[in-house]
Amino acid sequence: MRKKIIFITGSEGQLGERMVSLFSSKNWECYGIDIYKSPNSNLNLKGYLKGDVTKRLSFNNLFKMANVNNKFEYKIALINNAGVAVFTPSEERTYEEFKKVSDINLFGPIIGITEFFKYFIKEKTSLKIESINVINIASIYGLISPNENIYTDTKRNSSEIYGASKAGLIQLTKYFATRYAKYNIQVNAIAPGGVLNENHQGAEFIKKYSNLVPQNRLCNDDEVANLIYSIIESNCSYLTGQTIALDGGMSSW
């Protein structure tokens, strides 16, 4: 018998909720971790943990929720989706802001990937595993720099430290892909372009951003979830260490 299990950090955010919704509808057991006491509206989770992605214990407690055993053959995935941003000008950058973004966007995935490896490979040696996937949610701004001219009716300007942390996450993807390749763990990254969210984006920003994209629009959250699902379910075990820019062609100009 086969069982499919996925762990999603930042499960209560826009992308996290969409991932949970999609994967649960495809018969995956979904386990989420976020900073909130309980899930906001994520009723499709098999298990939820209020935790800190910079703490090893949080990941250990998250993985234990799945209660894996040698009665099943498993497809297992970890999505490092949790992330934060700051919107103050770089000239006013504080060390506290720098540390917060770096801790969550970079140190969190390091802890997540290494604890994932230790728990499912080093500790569960008798476990029958069909495939193991790790996908890091990077950003188009880890590949290119934002255009400051589009942030005219929103204060959510993309910062230098956010882009630097996402560029670092792309490098971590390459590092762990090569480090864990012999254990048949695939590690890849998705670099989404701007994801549509009209609660935080003004009409002028949406128009100006869209003008920078060959497809003339922002990305939809379901497109991010669908791409992740396609990668994990493709059984293309030769794909590892890659960053896929889901940006409507923006980085191809």
Residue 148 lies in a domain: no
The per-residue pLDDT for 41 is 66
What is the number of domains present in the chain?
1
25 vs 35: CA distance, rounded Å: 24
Q: What values do phi and psi take at 9, rounded to 5?
A: -85, 150
Residue 54 lies in a domain: yes
pTM for the complete prediction? 0.96
Other Cβ atoms closer than 10 A to 46 = 15
Residue 27 lies in a domain: yes
Residue 92 lies in a domain: yes
The per-residue pLDDT for 42 is 73
115 vs 112: CA distance, rounded Å: 5
Residue 86 lies in a domain: yes
The per-residue pLDDT for 93 is 96
Residue 119 lies in a domain: yes
Residue 31 lies in a domain: yes
Domain span including residue 32: 2-143+159-194+219-252
The per-residue pLDDT for 37 is 87
Residue 1's pLDDT band (boundaries 50, 70, 90)?
confident
CATH code for the domain of 118: 3.40.50.720
Residue 176 lies in a domain: yes
Q: Quick check: 63 and 132 in contact, CB under 8 A?
A: no
The per-residue pLDDT for 156 is 86
Per residue in 34-73, pLDDT (tens digit) is 999 888 767 799 999 999 999 999 999 999 999 999 899 9
- Calculate mean pLDDT across residues 124-139: 94
Per residue in 144-180, pLDDT (tens digit) is 999 999 998 888 889 999 999 999 999 999 999 999 9
Mean pLDDT of the chain: 95
Residue 124's pLDDT band (boundaries 50, 70, 90)?
confident
The per-residue pLDDT for 155 is 81
Per residue in 194-244, pLDDT (tens digit) is 999 988 899 999 999 999 999 999 999 999 999 999 999 998 999 999 999
